[in-house]
Amino acid sequence: MSKKVISDYNGYDYKKIFWEDADREYEDQADRMAIRKLLPKRMEKFADIGGGYGRLANEYLKRARKVIIFDYSKSELKQAKEMFGDKVETRAGDIYELPFKDDELDGLMMIRVTHHLKDLDDAVAELYRVLKPGGVAVIEVANKRTLPKMARYITGRSKINPFNKKVANLKELSKDGFFNYHPKYVEEIFDKVGFKREKVLSVSNFRSKGLKKTFGTNNLVKMEDKAQSVLAPIRFAPSIYYKLRKPEE
């Protein structure tokens, strides 16, 4: 095991506390919408990296012959097994030392994980290693260049500059670190590792308590569907989704 693991969800009921007891139906639907647009329809061996209890499993179970949920948290993986049984295999470990062979996977995704990663370049290199040539990776990135963050910086309410490529560590959100990344910084990592970018989506564009109260979740989800592609070139949503392919040899 490396010593780079930042967030340990063992013993934390992520499913209940973060999703079921909070008003995050819109965010959940926005994630699912993006995944349906980006994941291949047919895969042999697929892994959900940092997949926890399998929140998004129903979006990929019918697309892959073999599904593996990987996470650092054994308690989250136990929940996944209880929910999905033999439909999934679970593997626990360190994202910086993934328990997969070189070129083992036809597809993978990593959603809501990058904000825990201090060394994103090392993690991306591992994802590239375990993916087969021609395989697809769908990766979500926590974006530092959002409109609210721009406004806070311009008005002096935040010292974090959303316009430069320096990694933002929001320590007030987590004692272990909570990282946001500039899209250009992330895309340079993808390019350096060797991934080819095929599609980008802007996701959770309307993540706001005020908007939820004014428009309601159903209306925001309808707006989100069109916005994901239309706003992708601007790259200012809280989540930026990338469809990446490992080139054929």
Number of domains in the chain: 1
Q: Give a yes or no: residue 27 inside a domain.
A: yes
> Which pLDDT belongs to residue 20?
83
Q: Give a yes or no: residue 22 inside a domain.
A: yes
Reported as a single tens digit per residue, the pLDDT across 64-101 is 999 999 999 999 999 999 999 999 999 999 999 999 99
Q: Give a yes or no: residue 9 inside a domain.
A: no
Reported as a single tens digit per residue, the pLDDT across 145-169 is 999 999 999 999 999 999 999 999 8
| Average pLDDT score, the chain | 93
For residue 222, give every residue at least 6 positions away whose Cβ sits within 8 Å of its Cβ, in sequence order, or none.
Answer: none
- β-pairing, 196-203 vs 239-245, is antiparallel
> 38 by DSSP, 3-state: which?
helix
Q: Give a yes or no: residue 173 inside a domain.
A: yes
Residue pair 7/52 in contact by the 8 Å Cβ criterion = no
Question: Is the predicted pLDDT of residue 143 greater than 80, yes or no?
Answer: yes
Percent pLDDT > 70 in the chain is 95
> Which pLDDT belongs to residue 175?
61
Q: Give a yes or no: residue 248 inside a domain.
A: no
Q: Give a yes or no: residue 2 inside a domain.
A: no
Q: Give a yes or no: residue 106 inside a domain.
A: yes
> Which pLDDT belongs to residue 1?
44
For residue 174, give its domain range: 14-243
> Which pLDDT belongs to residue 173?
55
Cα 178 to Cα 14, 77, 88, 108, 167: the distances in Å are 16, 22, 29, 23, 10
CA-nearest of 91, 98, 94, 103 to 130 is 103
Q: Give a yes or no: residue 227 inside a domain.
A: yes
User: Domain of 25: which CATH number?
Assistant: 3.40.50.150
> Which pLDDT belongs to residue 191?
98
Encoded tokens for 34: 């993006």
> Which pLDDT belongs to residue 91?
97
pTM of the model: 0.94
> Which pLDDT belongs to residue 178?
85
